Each structure stands twice: as structure tokens, then as C-alpha cells.
Amino acid sequence: MRSDTQPTGTHPDGPIDIVIFGGAGDLAFRKLIPALFSAHQHDKLDADTRIIGVGRQDWGRDGYLAFINEKAKPFIEKALAEAPAADALWQSFLDRLSFASVDVTNPAAYENLAAISQPNTQRVFYLATAPSLFTQICANLTAVNLVDERTRVVLEKPLGHDLASARAINDEVAQYFRESQIYRIDHYLGKETVQNLMVLRFGNAILEPIWRGPNIRSVQITVAETVGVGSRAGFYDQTGALRDMVQNHLLQLLCIVAMEPPISLDPNDVRDEKLKVLRSLRPMTPADIKRDTVRGQYQAGSISGQSVPGYMSEENVPKGSRTETFVSLKANINNARWANVPFYLRTGKRMQERRSEIIIEFDDMPFSIFSGAANSKPNRLVITLQPEESIQLQMMAKEPGSGMNMRQVNLNLDLQSAFSERRAEAYERLLIDVIKGRLTHFMRRDELEAAWVWVEPILTEWAQSGEAPRPYNAGTWGPAASSALMARSNLTWYEES
């Protein structure tokens, strides 16, 4: 039977109970259930693997299935539309699902979960709840004997709101799980192009000798979103773009661009190298922060012809909020490879386009023999993560015709047509890693804390300055000060060049 109609395979990983705390939450129905469905569809789960949603709702299994049908299925509709025997496929996925009604603060309620958990089965607990609940959940799971040596726990971000709270969470979880059982997820590490960046860097001999200053003049990392805060203001207004995106996703991307070749792909070898990068980030002084960081907040504007409200008018945003929805900043890495190469990081909501990209800008030719050198542009490696994955090297070529005029052309690493294989979404790939016990693409405790060490002074300085974030119109690339930040080093953001 075809694997994408009725997957029934047995797997070397064996059956697993995948237990999702926050089973009725946003992340579960938008990302986790669709990812697990895809894993099911492509026969990546053992026939006896079960998925247990946990929530405080007073639901039985039928109630949860109704919820999944209503909320999660729309995110799976496209895959189902393309699948043969879609109804049977969906039904076979639902057969894996059950629900445990648990008020996570009530130890006795965990018996509900213990009662439906398969005996002697490996368990994965995915904690997609507020981090303030992590300790109680771990303690209560241990008390009802659901934790053993084989158990794995996945911690969703945000892992703390500053260094002290991140340390506290790590300390608390460490009372119940060894570090090798803890999977701190950053879904950017599951994106295909991000993983490909490691192969690009460490699998291609031509790149390594030039992958350093002064051959590289600057690095830009942009994660621009067109969405606004949506219904998440309760969380987001306490968090802001620096904590939500820079402390984790953007710094992880920076690590992969900047790290030294690890001695192997062993999780600790890779994470040792990323940690070194984080520890080499030059600490920012208050003067650096004033000069080299820009925080913004979106105002009403329009995106793709649609009017959208400003942050202050979004549901549940407190009046006078000073939360930033945009950050750009210049970071420096104090090591031999990257001394004097600025790394510009930028992220924002309600920007002109949804685009995540890394731009490696190489230094100019020291001297040009060509007339029309004004057309000359620096070589750039443009690694696009979203909306479409691509890797392009921008080169100069001769314009056809008489004369020796130059024009920029792209050497295109056409990944889409080079590989016919299915490209799994980040969450699916990372969940499979958890099932297989592969920690390489998850953050180690010391990495997480090192990221906070660097970010925290920025938060402190912003809070002390009393300045409000700079307004920017929705549908733009952020406040003008963000362009000025680049201009001070005679650089421009990629879309302005």
C-alpha cells in the first residue's frame, strides 16, 4: 500500500507517546499538529506512535478531535487536497490522537495523562506553554512516573525574558531531565536553507578561504514579516522584537554564518562552535546601544494595497505601549575571523514584504581597470530563507556588445529544480530529530544563556533611556534611522542597493 494513503510502518525508533502541553494552543494547531500530520503522511512515525494533546479544557477525545478538525485541519487542507484517499489518510492520523484534560498546576490531574499514556513507551513531552509552568509540569510528570531515562522534553521559546529567568528555567528543568534529554527548540534551525548554509560553508572548499574579514565587508541578516501582532498582544507586548526574534532566531543565524568549522556534526561539537561565537560578540556599551540600535513600532499603513492598523490600535495592546515591533542593530564579533566586519541584524512586523535573508557582502576590487566602473557592485552571496528558498551569488559580467561594460548577474544555486525530494517544514524536521534523538539543531543551555548575556544590556539601556520606539509606517522597511545606521558605515540595506 502506498505510504501516503495509510501509513502503517514500524520504525527503528519504535512507538513513542508525543505529548503536547498547550495541545489546544496556537502553536499546536498551526504548526505542531500539521507537522505531525505530515510526518504521518510520509510514514515517519511508527504505527503505534500516539499523539496526546494536553489542555485544561474539559474535553474528552471526541472534543479534541472536533477541535483539531476545526482549527488544525485548515492548515493541512492543501496537503490533503493533493493526497490520494485523503479521507482515509486523515482518519488514520486522527486515530493516533487523544486528549488529557489536565490543569497543569494540579498534581492530581496528571493521573488523567498517566491513564492514557502507553506503558513502557518512550515519551516526548512538548512544552508549548508559558515557561512559568515548565517546572510544575516537569515535577508533576515525574511524580506520576511518566519520566524515565529515555524521556525527552522539548522546550518552546521564549525561554525566559532575561538572563536570570532563563537560568532559573534551566536550573529547574535540570532537576528532572539531563541536558541530553532537553531539546530547546528554535524553529529557524529546522529551516532547510539554514541547514544548507552549513553544507555550503563546510562542504565547499572554495568558500572557506574567503569566508572572513577583510574579504567580507559586512553581513546583513533580515527577518521581515508582513503580519502584525495579531491576537498575540498579551504575549507580544511583554516581549517585543528583541526578545521574540533577535535573542534567538537572528542570533542563531548569525552563529551559523560566523562559526568556525566544527570538528564533527556531533551536537556538542556544533554547539561548542556556536557558543564561541556568542561569547565573542562584543558587549555593547550604553553609547554603542544609543548609536548602533534602532527600535521601532508600526503605525497604520498599507501592505500590498491593504490598509492595516497601527500597533497601538491592535487588540489588547495597552495604551501608550513602548514595545518595539522592529529592531535593527549592528553587532561586532571579537575574533580573528570577523574583527572589523559588522553584522547588521534587522527584524520587524508589518514590513513591506515577508522576506528572510542573509546577505554576505564581499569587499570591492581594490582597483578597477574597466570603464563604467560606476556600474560595479560588490559581490554578494544572497541566501534567502523565505518566502522561497534560494542561494544566489551576485557577480559582475560583461554587457554584450562593444565596449567593456559591466552588469550584475546572478549565479543561481537552483535548489528547487536540483532536488525533487519533498522539503519538510521546519517543525516537522525538528520533531523527527527529537524522535530520533538528534540534538544538533537544538540549543544547549550555555548557548541560550550566552545569547541572553549579550542581549540583556540592550534591554536595560532601552528601558533606562525612557525613549519611545521610533514610529514607522506599516508597509515600509522600518524607521529612517535604520537606513542611517547603515549609511554611517557607507553601507545600505540590500533592498536599497
d(CA 430, CA 192): 11
Beta strands, E only, 185-308: 216-224, 293-299, 301-303, 306-308
Question: In terms of CB distance, is 159 or 434 closer to ligand BG6?
Answer: 159
Give me the residue whose beta carbon is nearest to ligand BG6. Answer: 244
Question: In terms of CB distance, is 262 or 348 closer to ligand BG6?
Answer: 348
Question: In terms of CB distance, is 244 or 461 closer to ligand BG6?
Answer: 244
Is the Cα torsion angle 232, 433, 345, 449 positive or negative in sign? positive
CB of 30 to ligand BG6, least distance (A): 10
CB of 45 to ligand BG6, least distance (A): 23
CB of 322 to ligand BG6, least distance (A): 18
Site for ligand BG6 in 444-463 (CB under 6 A): none
Quickly tell me which residue has 503505534 as its cell: 48
Q: Which residues of 218-232 are buried (b: 16+ CB within 10 A; e: fewer)?
A: bbbbbbbbbebbeeb
Is 84 exposed, middle or buried, given 0-12, 13-18 or 19+ CB atoms closer than 10 A?
A: exposed
Residues whose CB is less than 8 angstroms from the CB of residue 376 and which lie 6 or more positions away in sequence, other chains included: 364, 365, 368, 370, 396, 406
CB of 304 to ligand BG6, least distance (A): 17
17, 244, 357, 428: which one contacts ligand BG6 (CB under 6 A)? 244
Quickly tell me which residue has 520606539 as its cell: 469
The verdict on whether 441 is a catalytic residue reads no
Number of residues lying near ligand BG6 (CB under 6 A): 5
Question: In terms of CB distance, is 237 or 244 closer to ligand BG6?
Answer: 244
Question: In terms of CB distance, is 225 or 237 closer to ligand BG6?
Answer: 225
Closest CA to 430 of 264, 189, 178: 189
Site for ligand BG6 in 189-228 (CB under 6 A): 225
Q: Does 324 bind ligand BG6 (CB under 6 A)?
A: no
Closest CA to 189 of 380, 444, 17: 444
CB of 243 to ligand BG6, least distance (A): 9
Beta strands, E only, 181-292: 182-184, 216-224
SS3 call for 248 = helix
Q: Which residues are catalytic?
A: 249
Binding site for ligand BG6 (CB under 6 A): 187, 225, 244, 356, 386
